[in-house]
Amino acid sequence: MQLTDTDLIVHAQKGDQNAFEELVYRYDRSVLSIALKYAVDEDDAKDLYQEVFIRVYRGLKNFRFQSEFSTWLFRITTNVCLTYKSRSKHHLKVSIDNDFESEENEIRAKEEIVYEGSSPEEISSGADLEEIVNSAVESLSPKQKMTFILKHYEGYKIREIAEIMNCKEGTVKKYLFDAIRNLRKKLSPVYA
């Protein structure tokens, strides 16, 4: 008979490592999926994943069953991802050892989603559409990006996202509205 999350939490709080490992096993794919969609690269996503479960491990002794375990876990995941995003903005530096002009061109090329003057057919045939969409999603503000990922990639309801992000449903709706509006602007050359 399979133990419930509640049973596993109680056992893990008493020091049962196997119970904690089972909790990780139950939710690791979901956490990694969110991290992979949120982070810039796979290594960063793995770091986020690891940080989430370190925080869960440290905080599990204080879990009081006032919410579902999954809500608590995804709130931690959201906070870790948002912290990562704000940290990564503050730590962007340009090396003086590199050729500045080529690096500047590389940055400009990464930020550009669609080349002006390209028809939708040229864009679709000449570029990977998924990469274009991912670039557009990456350009969203951290909270817009998180709500968009939770809603459209992970399939959460607005009420659940509000619980995970610890905010009101109206706030989640606003983030989603702004995210979709911004994505429409970014992707309009592709879908025009």
* Count of structural domains within the chain: 2
Q: Are residues 117 and 172 in the same domain?
A: yes
Is residue 81 assigned to a domain? yes
96: DSSP letter: T
Residues 114 and 86 in one domain: no
The boundaries of the domain holding residue 110 are 102-187
Q: Can you tell me the distance from the alpha carbon of 34 to that of 149, in angstroms, rounded to the nearest whole number?
A: 7
Q: Taking the CB of residue 47, how many other CB atoms lie within 10 A of it?
A: 15
Which of 92, 126, 142 is the C-terminal boundary of a domain? 92
Structure tokens given for 85: 């995003």
Grouped pLDDT means (10 residues each) for the chain, 192 residues:
92 95 94 89 92 94 91 93 70 38 40 44 54 85 92 90 93 95 86 62
- Say what the pLDDT of residue 114 is: 43
- pLDDT of 192 reads 57
Identify the pLDDT of residue 121. Answer: 53
The verdict on 61 and 31 lying in the same domain is: yes
